[in-house]
Amino acid sequence: MANHIKKQQKLGKETLALAVKIYNYNKDIISEKDLLTFKNKVEVLKNALSIKPVDVGLIAQAVDSLEPLFKKYGGSFYPKRFAYENVEMLLVAAILVIGIRTFFFQPFVIPTNSMYPSFNGMTYNIYNEEKPPNILTRSFNYLVKGVSRKRIESPVNGSLKVPIQIGIVSKGVGLFEVQTVIPSKRSRGFSRIMLPTQKDTYNLRVGSEEMEVSVPAEFRFQEVITEKFFSKKSAIEHVEEQFGNVRQFVGNGLSKVIWVEVESSFKKGDIMVDFDIISGDALFVDRMSYHFVSPKVGDSIVFKTSKIKSLVAEPEKYYIKRLVGVGGDVLKIKEPILYRNGKPINGVAPFDKNNKALGDYKGYKAEEALAEGKEVEILPNHYYAMGDNSGNSADSRYWGQVPDTEVLGRALFIYYPFSSHWGLTE
């Protein structure tokens, strides 16, 4: 109580000093009516400050009564009262939030399904014949389930063309790599939960007009296009139908991007594709505990890619994978089992489920560095990271071991969307 009285007295005195300053500097521009009002209100404040015992209510009332005159004539002496009184509080709050995010709990949104079913990455649902949900259902899905609808309209009359990249995978074998709709650029933005995020932009053509489609980074927009427009004919069939033999585009082992028509009947305003983007799990990363204890096998770790040799040419990203081995460990795979130091890996439920290929856990795949018959010994001060969805995960088998300096923390708590995954992570 005593502190409150002192603070109110201090505010009253500061307000009185400010009132005198504004009056003296601006009395030549203050109207006669307002000059009289100013004098009277200043006297009321002086009297309120002189009353014993202190009447904080009377002081507050006198201070508030000067507010309209301060706003009208204060100029540079009196900026917005909100900022004047609260700027310090806002700065402290911002520093606190940044500090918590940097040193304790950092938000992270899982983009891909390499850790499925332990964590959900982004997926999609295309509306073909079925009718999309009404606005109330969409609003509920958006806020609670992280589902956002995206409709791509035709800007003009004409045929839809998509870019397809074609290249030889294995020379002389006749196998081809096909990638539809190559992302053209990446930009910064914000997600529905107001966290910084990145977006990928894809180019499409309708008639002679080029259009851009933005989606969350790492979202597999090419899969949407493939499912929508390549269900009856493969990409290779579309290319050969329009351009002839595919090999003419990939001489000497090179790849080439060509524009391929996939639909010819669009009119301006037509919905070319209507689909939902289903958010990946958003979680908090515990950045604090690894300052005191080392990561242990079985943890879901988040790490940077900037110092992983095979990934240095790419933009820095953050990955989440399961820690399966530390320095000195020897790993090998005999499908579906991952062996660590000669024994089936254990310690957390996803290990056991993958080793037994239970349910949505499909088992470990012997690929790349851990192909059948190969084994890897982990270097000192390094970790080996693999996705729980081994058959659909680019991980240490492909790009190598993770330096221990790159690990930021472990997955702690899924806070969004409000699905069956909500809560402490596995």
For the chain, domains (ranges, CATH) are: 2-78 (no CATH), 123-278 (no CATH), 282-424 (2.10.109.10)
CA angle, corner 151, sides to 146 and 157, nearest 5? Answer: 170
Average pLDDT across each block of 10 residues of the chain; the chain has 426 residues. List them in order: 75 82 80 85 86 84 83 64 54 62 72 89 88 88 89 93 71 47 63 56 90 86 87 77 72 71 89 92 88 92 86 76 96 96 95 94 95 95 96 93 93 87 83
Predicted pLDDT at 230: 83
Tokens of 182: 């190559």
Residue given tokens 């990939």 in the structure block: 250
The predicted pLDDT at position 37 comes to 86
- Residues 379, 99: contact at Cβ < 8 Å? no
pLDDT at 117: 92
**Does residue 14 sit in helix, strand or coil?**
helix
Sign of CA dihedral 193, 195, 197, 199: positive
On the 0-12 / 13-18 / 19+ scale of CB atoms within 10 A, 262 is buried
Of 394, 400, 392, 393, the closest CA to residue 325 belongs to: 400
pLDDT score recorded for residue 82: 45
How far apart, in whole angstroms, are the C-alpha atoms of residue 280 and residue 337?
Answer: 27
**Alpha carbon distance, N-terminus to C-terminus of the chain:** 48
H/E run at residue 333:
strand 330-334
Provide the pLDDT for residue 402.
94
